[in-house]
């Protein structure tokens, strides 16, 4: 599956942004999807994910209550709605896809994802 992330940009603290991840190539609903981010000088970290078929979502504690993930199967697109942005949200954001066979507990590990989109940069100023 090919993934294309978009929607990054510059924002001020407290603003909102919505990222999109357009998928193509294989059956969209058969994949667990995730968002990860990587700030300069830091390791890639899990942001949130949505199970195959859109059955459930799960988030990192750092974004819980502020970020929301959804998927539109008709458009084969996943979204990351980011509200109440903070300067520490500044990072390159990536979307990724993992096989539906992966168990939920593994889906915070970037190593289980088979497909990655290119990053989209989010910069939040105070």
Query: For 24-83, how does the pLDDT look when each residue is reduced to its tens digit (9 = 90+)?
Result: 877 778 899 999 999 999 999 999 999 987 779 999 999 999 999 999 878 799 999 999
Q: Which of 89, 95, 113, 83 is nearest to 39 (CA)?
A: 89
pLDDT for residue 61? 97
pLDDT for residue 54? 77
Query: Could you tell me if 92 and 19 are in contact, meaning their C-beta atoms sit under 8 angstroms apart?
Result: no
In sequence order, what are the residues at sequence separation of 6 or more whose Cβ sits closer than 8 angstroms to the Cβ of residue 17?
A: 7, 8, 9, 11, 82, 85, 122
CB neighbourhood size of 14 (10 A) = 11
> CA–CA separation, 35 vs 48, rounded Å?
5
Pairing label, strands 120-125, 9-12: parallel
- High-pLDDT (> 90) share of the chain, %: 79
């Amino acid at each position: 599956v090919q993934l294309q992330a978009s929607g990054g940009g510059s924002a001020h603290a407290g603003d909102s942004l919505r990222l999109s991840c357009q998928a193509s190539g294989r059956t969209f609903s058969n994949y667990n999807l995730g968002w990860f981010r990587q700030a300069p000088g830091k390791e890639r970290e899990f942001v949130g994910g949505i199970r195959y078929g859109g059955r459930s979502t799960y988030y990192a504690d750092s974004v819980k209550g502020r970020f929301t993930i959804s998927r539109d199967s008709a458009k084969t697109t996943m979204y990351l709605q980011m509200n109440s942005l903070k300067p520490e949200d500044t990072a390159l954001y990536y979307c990724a896809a993992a096989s539906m066979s992966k168990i939920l507990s593994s889906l915070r590990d970037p190593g289980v994802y088979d497909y990655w989109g290119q990053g989209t940069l989010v910069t939040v100023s105070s």
